Amino acid sequence: MASSVFHAPCGAPSIKQLECQKYVGLRPSVTLRFNCVKTKTVTTRRLVVTASKSHDGTTKKLGISDAECEAAVVAGNIPEAPPVPPKPAAPAGTPVVPSLPLSRRPRRNRKSPAMRASFQETNLSPANFVYPLFIHEGEEDTPIGAMPGCYRLGWRHGLVQEVAKARDVGVNSVVLFPKVPDALKSPTGDEAYNDNGLVPRTIWLLKDRYPDLVIYTDVALDPYSSDGHDGIVREDGVIMNDETVHQLCKQAVSQARAGADVVSPSDMMDGRVGAIRAALDAEGFQHVSIMSYTAKYASSFYGPFREALDSNPRFGDKKTYQMNPANYREALVEAQADESEGADILLVKPGLPYLDVIRLLRDKYPLPIAAYQVSGEYSMIKAGGALKMIDEQRVMMESLMCLRRAGADIILTYFALQAARCLCGEKR
């Protein structure tokens, strides 16, 4: 144990019954005692400080003034600092080598959690998340088999409760996807612009409960089409572009009329952003934003989503309108068109397999960039976690951070609630 001795004039106030574990710079089982020593010239008090090796972090001031502390130091009575800890020993057999002549050692900035946090270049917040929610006409919340933890929510009750949970942890943006009854589906998807349909009713309800909630909507015909495609299908199987855009404009206006903040055309028809912008403006909805699915690839990662909405194509695939996963430069063509037509946000879908495309759009365009971490990405992480093959929470957070690092300002993710709780320190 180390001892420090302080000398001060007897005029200094005495300290009685000190609780030694509560003093600044001393260890918990510190013992303090004052001894008055009579000399020929002056009576002094001697403070003996004995510090133990244990320390619980609780401290308390000594009770002497700053001037007295300074006077003691000037007089040469400098308190001893804790000893420098010994250098940790290397394991037996470690070779003894000269230090490398490096002027730059990047590991210096990674040596402690505090330093790593100081120099972190990318940050993740619940405000970056948009929470995709599946809704249906029923009263019960129906689990989605391919997406553990996700449900088709009853629009009157389950949805409202889920939105409340998300808002509690800072997620205040949602995007709605409807499971439409088969009896309301048609080849032209007319139910998509029914002002009393499932989506408009849901928007009215949410805006009544939470006026500041940011509501994104999906603009596409596939949930409403008896063919399961994003557009009107001609009898020879061709997806009709301009006729579909006409329907999408009516759908977007209907959603805006109900109170949507952002309409999101996900259909990948040519020219639909400009047409929707013109239709919204003509109806007085200049304040409604457009988030365009700019680079939506014909991906195999969408399977669980189509189960959730029962929207698999009745025949064929979507490769004549969604992008080829092999293409990179084509994303610039789509982005240039969407920007010029009035898009407010450019979205890349899927997310993780297309980080290079997210970065491409981030570097080329000043508009906000969105990324969609799609159902297949979500389900793979969930499955890996359930099988104990990965740490679900760590992989979830890393995947979201990667999307942010690539350049996404917002992320549509089914992990929104779970990740926000993690960021807020909850373990539910």
The CA distance from 293 to 297, in Å, is 10
Which of 179, 318, 349, 382 does the annotation list as catalytic? Answer: 349
The CA distance from 346 to 362, in Å, is 9
User: Which pLDDT does position 13 carry in this prediction?
Assistant: 43
Q: What angle do CA 72, 74, 79 make, to 5 degrees?
A: 50
User: Which pLDDT does position 52 carry in this prediction?
Assistant: 46
Following DSSP, what letter does each residue of 5-51 receive, concatenated?
A: EEEEETTSPP--S--GGGSTT--TT-EEEEEEEE-SS-EEEEEEEEE
Q: Among the residues of 34-137, which ranges form H helices?
A: 66-74, 113-118
Which of 296, 318, 364, 388 does the annotation list as catalytic? Answer: 296
**Is residue 22 within 8 Å of residue 62, measured between CB atoms?**
no
| Structural tokens at position 425 | 């320190």
> Of 220, 216, 190, 192, which Cα lies nearest the Cα of 203?
216
Distances (CA, A) of 274 to 40, 54, 364: 98, 70, 20
**Is residue 251 within 8 Å of residue 192, measured between CB atoms?**
yes
296 is catalytic: yes
192 C-beta neighbours (distance < 10 Å), count: 28
Strands of 202-288 (E only): list them.
214-219, 232-233, 239-240, 262-265
- 80 SS3 class: coil
User: Which pLDDT does position 21 carry in this prediction?
Assistant: 40
**Is residue 258 within 8 Å of residue 203, measured between CB atoms?**
yes
CATH fit for domain 126-424, picks 3.40.50.11900, 2.30.110.10, 3.30.1490.190, 3.20.20.70: 3.20.20.70
The CA distance from 362 to 357, in Å, is 8
Encode burial over 76-85: b for 16+ CB neighbours within 10 A, e otherwise: eeeeeeeeee
Query: Would you state the torsion angle of the CA atoms of residues 318, 324, 325, 327, taken in this order, to the nearest 10 degrees?
Result: -160
The CA distance from 237 to 369, in Å, is 33
> Of 138, 165, 129, which Cα lies nearest the Cα of 149?
165
Helices and strands, counts by H and E, the chain: 12, 15
User: Which pLDDT does position 61 carry in this prediction?
Assistant: 74
- In which element (H, E) is residue 25 found? none
318 is catalytic: no
User: Which pLDDT does position 62 carry in this prediction?
Assistant: 73
Q: Could you give the count of Cα atoms lying within 13 Å of 214 in the half-sphere of its Cβ?
A: 19
Look-up: residue for tokens 């019954």?
17
| DSSP code at position 381 | H
The CA distance from 36 to 71, in Å, is 19
pLDDT digits (tens, 9 = 90+) for 189-208: 999 999 999 999 999 999 99
- In which element (H, E) is residue 410 found? strand 410-413
126 C-beta neighbours (distance < 10 Å), count: 22
Ranges of the chain with pLDDT below 50: 1-53, 427-428
Q: Can you give the length of the chain in residues?
A: 428
- In which element (H, E) is residue 161 found? helix 158-168
| Structural tokens at position 65 | 């003034």
Strands of 155-258 (E only): list them.
173-178, 214-219, 232-233, 239-240
Q: What angle do CA 336, 341, 347 make, to 5 degrees?
A: 60
The CA distance from 186 to 228, in Å, is 10
